[in-house]
């Protein structure tokens, strides 16, 4: 049960939408095997404003990996479009990959599914190719 508590806690940190659902109704945790005490603790943690700090650190870490490995792609997307795409990507892939190159490759491949042609696709392909040569 402790492992599920830890998984649920980590997911609440990285997924603000889940945190909101848990804050509104603890049944959002039904997919986890939790003791009543663990469920109560998570329900109490979910609405805390300080939880956003953990989310900020998590996302900053993920963005830094992409900025380091795919700088031209991120610049070409522009801040507003990048923000939208990152939120979509994080929703689909909430789990972080520890290695910079692997996280960047996963994001680049995900982005290429959406950008099949054009300048952005060419930039992604170019940076992905360079990344794979390292």
**CA 31 from chain center: how many Å?**
20
Can you tell me the distance from the alpha carbon of 20 to that of 51, in angstroms, rounded to the nearest whole number? 11
Q: Between the CA of residue 134 and those of 7, 67, 77, 81, 122, what are the distances in Å?
A: 33, 16, 24, 28, 19
Neighbour count for residue 4 (Cβ, 10 Å): 15
Block means of pLDDT (10 residues each) for the chain, 134 residues, are: 90 93 96 95 95 92 93 93 93 84 93 84 88 80
Q: What is the pLDDT of residue 2?
A: 80
Enter the pTM of the model: 0.78
Can you tell me the distance from the alpha carbon of 100 to that of 83, in angstroms, rounded to the nearest whole number? 19
Q: What is the pLDDT of residue 1?
A: 72
Contact by Cβ (8 Å): 12, 46: yes
Q: What is the pLDDT of residue 96?
A: 78
């Amino acid at each position: 049960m402790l492992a599920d508590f830890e998984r649920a806690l980590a997911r609440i940190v990285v997924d603000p939408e889940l945190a909101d659902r848990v804050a509104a109704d603890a049944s959002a945790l039904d997919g986890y095997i939790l003791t009543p005490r663990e469920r109560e603790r998570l329900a109490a943690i979910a609405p805390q404003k300080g939880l956003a700090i953990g989310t900020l650190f998590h996302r900053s870490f993920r963005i830094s990996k992409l900025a380091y490995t795919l700088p031209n792609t991120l610049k070409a997307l522009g801040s507003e479009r990048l923000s939208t795409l990152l939120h979509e990507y994080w929703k689909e892939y909430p789990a972080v990959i520890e290695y910079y190159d692997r996280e960047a490759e996963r994001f680049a491949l995900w982005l290429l599914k959406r950008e099949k042609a054009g300048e952005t696709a060419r930039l992604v392909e170019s940076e992905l190719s360079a990344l794979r040569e390292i």
